[in-house]
Every structure is written in C-alpha cells, then in structure tokens.
Amino acid sequence: MKYITRTVWILSIVSLLTDAASEMLYPIMPIYLKTIGFSVVLIGILEGVAEATAGLSKGYFGKLSDTSGKRVPFVQIGYAFSAVTKPMMAIFICPLWIFFARTIDRFGKGIRTGARDAILSDEATPETKGKIFGFHRSMDTVGAVIGPSLALVYLYYYPEHYKTLFYIAFIPGMLAVLASFYLKDKRTHVQKKKSSTPFFSFLNYWKVSPVAYRKVVTGLLVFTLFNSSDVFLLLKAKQAGLEDTMVIGVYIFYNLIFALFAFPIGILADKLGLKTIFIGGLAVFAAVYFGMAINTNLYFFFGLFFLYGIYASATEGISKAWISNITDKKDTATAIGTYSGLQSICTMLASALTGWIWYNFNSAAAFIATASVTLGVMGYFMTISKPEVH
C-alpha cells in the first residue's frame, strides 16, 4: 500500500464524504421536488441544465488548472460549492432558487473534476495508475453506500421529513471541505499564460491531442452515447415488481460491490493492462443489459446488479487512468476535463435516446440496443494498439 500516498488518502476521504452527502439525497430528490411543486417535466429540465453545466465546466476548469499550474484551489472551491448547496435546497424552495442551487452543485463538480484527477495521476506512475484510480473510486463509492443507507434509516423513523436530510447532508459535505485544506500543491510546469481563457477553449485540445487520445475517447464517447442513466435500470427493477425500499436496496448493493471491487480490479489492471480490463468491463456491461432485457425473476436482479458493480469497477476509474497514460503530464487536467465534459453531454443524449426507444417500443428494445452497440465498441477497442505511455 506504499503507493497510496498521503495526498491520495486525503483526496479519497474528501470524495467519500462528499459522495455520502450527495447520495444521501439521491433517492429522495425527485420525491422532495414533487412535494414542493415540481412536475416531472420540470425535474427533467432541472437535471438536464445541471448536468450540462457540470459537463461544460469540467473541460474549462481542467484547462484553467493546467494553464495556471495549480490543482488544489480548484479542488477546494469545487467541493465547497457542492457542500453549501445542500441546505440551500431546503431553505429556498421556489423553482428559480432550486435551479440556482442545483446548478451551483454541479458547477462545483465541474470545477474540481479535472484538477482532482490530475492530482491522482501525478501521485502515480504509469505502472500504478490502475491502483491509484481504483482506490479512489473505491473510497468514493463507499460514500455512495453510506449516504443512501443513512437516508433509508432516517426515513424509516421519520417518514416524509425530507428537508432535515438536506441539513444532515451538509455535515459530511463541510467535513470534506475541511479535509481538502490538508492538500498541498506540488510544483508543476506552468504553461505560458494568456490574457484570458475562453470558456470553450478546452475544445481546442482535441485538435492538438495525441492520436491515441482521440482514438480512445472516440470509443468511450460512442459507448456513453448509448449508456443511459442508472435510473433506467432501477425503473426496470421497479417495473418488474420490486418494492421502493428494495429498489433503493439494490442500488446500495450495486454501490457496495463497486466499492469492494474497484481497488482489486485496479491492481489487476496494472498487471494485465488497462485496455484489457476495460474491454472486460464492457463485456460484463453487455451481459447485464441483455439480462435486463429478458429477466423477469425478482431475485435475479440482485445478480445483475452485482455484475453491474463489477462493470463499474472495471471501467470508471480505469478509463481516466488510461487517458492519463496517453497524454502529456502538463495537459492531464485538460485531457480528462475535456473527456468528462463531452461524456456528460453524451450521457444526457443517451438518457433521452433510451427514453425514446423505451416509450416507442419497450424496455427490452432499449436494453438490447445498448448491449448491441457495446459489443461493437468492444470490437473497436480491440483494434487499438497499445500506445506509448507519456
């Protein structure tokens, strides 16, 4: 464990606390918004605007982090923004203020993502990238287990007392911000500063990025374009007859598997190759989606969500580790921020596409379409040769 440095530990604890705060609210957010007058359409618009804000800002602030040569301030400000919005969602209940608070929350994610992942990359060698990113994802996802579990326990004793949960979520959020002040910036190569950094300047990176980066990210984005929100998996489980508490339970179970396997799979990726493990993760994903299309057994859903946790462990941290290995160190935040930004936009489109297929045909058609495209993406990645590590 000597390769897990103090900085990696601090970042991982910060992510754990923040995810616990955010995921505590995930199961009850749509219910709460309905109680204060939001329609389903308005909820959809809110989430769309919030995710688009996060997506576009990831690229911009990743670029800004590289040009300034600083990482830690972006991490601290990003986590602070997410923390302060938790009580705001309970205090300000008019739609305009809810839009503002939710957008600021996602904006905070956009500010910190590229810089945080660049710090993780700097703390690793090409031979330990899988371990470092896997460990961080594992700790981050522990928070996604703790948060909904606390929400379930709280709502069991205090049903429909949603507002109080937003105040409770503020506590781990602020602890994360305090922990982030133990981070220190390393000396980095500062790029020649320009008078200003235009918001969409990060898109220029695509033109100057390594060929290997463009090839890998193209495949990742095609996959993302058909990989819709996890809400559709939960909706399928609900549609098949699972009770509400069981739906939340299966979501917690998925996050638990993700948390348990992300680090060991990261270790395996360093031995077998990041690309090999990622393709294996896509194979598991395709199996899950084919299974979702045909499954009618309620208990079998737990098996599918177990496999879904394995898929997440083999892809989420691994993809960023892969990208950081094929780009120049001075461009790490820009490279990951650009990918994360484009990924967010593709995720929005994916959910709209899946919803359209589900509505016009059926759920089985939506899942089969995604699984089929995934098989094609696997074939594409198999044609990519091992790139030179930067």
- Give the pLDDT score at 254: 93
C-alpha–C-alpha distance, residues 179 and 217, integer Å: 32
Model pLDDT, residue 5 = 93
255's enclosing H/E stretch is helix 244-272
Q: Tell me the two tokens of residue 183.
A: 């981070």
Amino acid making up residue 89:
M
211/355 Cα distance (integer angstroms): 34
Q: Closest Cα partner for 108 from 24, 158, 161, 176?
A: 176
- C-alpha 248: how far from chain center: 19
Extract the residue ranges of the chain whose pLDDT is less than 70. 1, 30, 40-41, 43-44, 47-48, 187-197, 199, 386-390
- Provide the pLDDT for residue 277: 96
User: Which CATH code for domain 6-185+206-382?
Assistant: 1.20.1250.20
Cα 68 to Cα 115: distance, rounded to the nearest angstrom: 11
pLDDT score, position 44: 63
Q: What is the pLDDT of residue 287?
A: 97
According to the model, what pLDDT value does residue 190 have? 54
CB neighbour class for 111 (10 Å; exposed up to 12, middle 13-18, buried from 19): buried
* Helices 95-122, 40-68: crossing angle, 10 deg rounding: 40
Which tokens hold the place of 227? 């990989």
The DSSP symbol for 196 reads: -
Six token digits for residue 381: 């990645």
Helical segments of the chain, H only: 6-25, 29-35, 40-68, 72-91, 95-122, 129-157, 162-180, 205-208, 211-224, 231-239, 244-272, 274-294, 300-325, 332-360, 363-382
Which helix (H) or strand (E) is 294 found in, with range? helix 274-294
C-beta atoms surrounding 187 within 10 Å: 6
In the DSSP assignment, the letter for residue 384 is S
How far apart are alpha carbons 362 and 316 in whole angstroms? 28
The confidence score (pLDDT) of residue 162 equals 83
- The whole-number pLDDT of residue 152 equals 85
The H or E element containing residue 33 is helix 29-35
DSSP state of 172: H
Query: Tokens in use for 220?
Result: 């990742």
Residues 335, 50: Cα–Cα separation, whole Å = 22
Count the alpha carbons within 13 Å of 138 in the hemisphere toward its beta carbon.
Answer: 19
In whole angstroms, what is the distance from residue 326 CA to residue 15 CA? 25
Angle between helices 363-382 and 211-224 (to 10 degrees): 170
Q: What is the CA radius of gyration of the chain?
A: 20
